[in-house]
Structure 1
Amino acid sequence: MDKIIIRDLLLRGIIGINPEERVKKQDILINMVIYADIRKASQSDSIEDAVDYKTITKRVISHVEESADFLVEKLVTDLARMVIIDFNVEKVQVRVEKPGALRFAESVGIEIVRERADFL
Structure 2
Amino acid sequence: MQTDQIQIHDLLLRCIVGINPEERVKKQDVIVNLTLYADMRQAGHSDDIDDAVNYKTLTKRVIDHVEQSEYFLVEKLAHTIAEIAVVEFGVQRAIVSLEKPGALRFARSVGVVIDRTAADFE
RMSD after superposition:
0.6
Query: After superposition, what is the alpha-carbon deviation per residue over 1:48-95, rounded to whole angstroms, capped at 9, x for unaligned?
Result: 000010011001100011110000011011111111000011111001
**What amino acid is the match of 1:45?**
D
TM-score by length of 1: 0.98
1:15 lines up with 2:17 in the alignment? yes
Query: After superposition, what is the alpha-carbon deviation per residue over 1:17-58, rounded to whole angstroms, capped at 9, x for unaligned?
Result: 111110111101000000011111011111100001001100
Query: After superposition, what is the alpha-carbon deviation per residue over 1:75-117, rounded to whole angstroms, capped at 9, x for unaligned?
Result: 0111111110000111110011101111110100000111111
**What amino acid is the match of 2:42?**
K
Aligned to 1:29: 31
Aligned to 2:100: 98
Taking the aligned partners of 2:23 and 2:42, their CA distance within structure 1 comes to 44
Three-state SS of the structure 1 residue aligned to 2:70 is coil
Three-state SS of the structure 1 residue aligned to 2:71 is coil
The percentage of counterpart residues that share the same residue type is 60
Aligned to 1:40: 42
Q: Hey, which bits of structure 1, 4+ residues long, moved more than 2 A?
A: none
Three-state SS of the structure 2 residue aligned to 1:105 is coil
Taking the aligned partners of 1:35 and 1:88, their CA distance within structure 2 comes to 10
Aligned to 1:59: 61
**1:118 Cα deviation from its structure 2 partner:** 1.1
Where structure 1 has 5 or more consecutive residues not aligned to the other structure, the ranges are none
Where structure 2 has 5 or more consecutive residues not aligned to the other structure, the ranges are none
